[in-house]
Amino acid sequence: MFWRRKKDDEGADAPLPEIDLEAPEPDPADFDLEQEETEPRARESEPTAPPPPIAPELPPGALWAPVPPIAVEPAGDLEAGLAKTRGGFVSRLRGYLGGEGDEASWDDVEETLIAGDVGASLAMELVERARRRRDPGGAEAAIRAELAALLVPRDAAWSPQASVEGGPAIVLVVGVNGTGKTTTIGKLAARYSAEGRRVLLAAADTFRAAAIDQLKIWAERAGVPVVAHAPNADPGAVVYDAIDAAVARGADLVIADTAGRLHTKSNLMDELAKIRRIIDKRLPGAVPETIFVLDATTGQNGLAQAKAFHDAVGLTGIVLTKLDSTAKGGIVFAIEHDLGVPVRFVGVGEKAGDLLPFDPDAFVAALFA
């Protein structure tokens, strides 16, 4: 604020008097007290914008990034996403199976299944069972039925659910770097947020330089908050703070990114076990979903990774990414048969809507469309 001297009604244009340094102090009553305007007043005819939202308080060291929601992308096309697989090993498979009334070349069928990442021993079993079926629809119908039978039963309406009253559902996303793990988390966040769930992300992959920034970008796209610490921070502390924030703010789903790790590195695998213990400490009795992200283009090597993770931490689901980039879709059958773990989602494109819930019947039908 500042002082402004009152103008006299008369002599306003008169020259200013000389300043008398020995004059007494002026009386404040001779002055008007006015509030200085630091910002221009909005015109009455123009509506003022609402104030920005206030970020909620989180545990010390945590970051909250509230962002506006984005438009929901349309779902991708499973049949289009499987075009390479359908034109690759499935096309060759149908050629060897022959048409109705034709004799199948079962040796070639077996070799084609192996080349399609079904696996040698499983391919032998499939062919043997299909030959014994003597399906009225022919050899192709027999193989389709046997492939469908490999896929484990599942709840079509599955989604992560809280296992402790008053706490959020927790999903740990694990996998090897380069499989699309962090991207998958962003797509899952967009999907569940669009369904009306209150999602919070935990940037617990603190060891990869770009992981935290990458997750923040996906959080902005999905319109969800993210809890993050500084690079190289303790991943367990990030997950603990994320659960604290979720409980305080009423979030019902926490999805945690974890450090991309090789299944041969025991110390990194032990880090996952530590995170599980921290979750149990913060929410006793909580049972998190542990989702493994597998790159479909890695084939049987990816299956070996999944087996190691399953043995170490107990997987509850698989997300199969880059299925649109491979001509070998048989890895789906090998995973479910060998692990008994359901494939929850398949990725058939780059957009958030291209991460599709896995429907066994629709998948087999799309392969042989």
Cα 353 from Cα 58, distance rounded (Å): 31
pLDDT at 261: 65
In this prediction, residues 48-55 reach a mean pLDDT of 38
The DSSP symbol for 237 reads H
For residues 269 and 228, the model is more confident at 228
Query: How does pLDDT run across 322-364, given as a tens digit for each residue?
Result: 988 887 888 899 999 999 999 999 998 888 888 999 999 888 8
Which structure tokens are listed for 350?
Answer: 């780059």
In this prediction, residues 259-288 reach a mean pLDDT of 81
In this prediction, residues 93-106 reach a mean pLDDT of 79
Which structure tokens are listed for 352?
Answer: 């958030």
Element holding 173 (H helix, E strand) = strand 169-175
Per-range mean pLDDT, top range of 93-97, 163-167, 254-258: 254-258
pLDDT at 75: 61
Residue 282 half-sphere exposure, CB side, CA atoms within 13 Å?
24
146 near 133, Cβ under 8 Å? yes
Element holding 232 (H helix, E strand) = none
- Residue 270 CB contacts under 8 Å (≥ 6 apart), including other chains: none
In this prediction, residues 66-78 reach a mean pLDDT of 56
Query: How does pLDDT run across 2-43, given as a tens digit for each residue?
Result: 444 444 444 445 454 454 445 454 454 444 444 444 444 444
Burial 145-173, CB ≥16 within 10 A → b, else e: ebbeebbeebeeeeebebebeebbbbbbb
Residue 236 half-sphere exposure, CB side, CA atoms within 13 Å?
14
Residue 1 has pLDDT above 90, yes or no: no
**What mean pLDDT value characterizes the chain?**
80
- As to burial, measured by CB atoms within 10 angstroms (0-12 exposed, 13-18 middle, 19+ buried), residue 190 is buried
Q: What is the largest CA-CA distance in the chain?
A: 122
- Residue 313 CB contacts under 8 Å (≥ 6 apart), including other chains: 172, 174, 269, 272, 273, 276, 290
pLDDT band at 265 (very low <50, low <70, confident <90, very high): low
For residues 300 and 28, the model is more confident at 300
pTM of the model: 0.76
pLDDT band at 66 (very low <50, low <70, confident <90, very high): very low
pLDDT band at 126 (very low <50, low <70, confident <90, very high): very high
Residue 147 has pLDDT above 90, yes or no: yes
Q: Which residues pair with 3 in a beta bridge?
A: 33
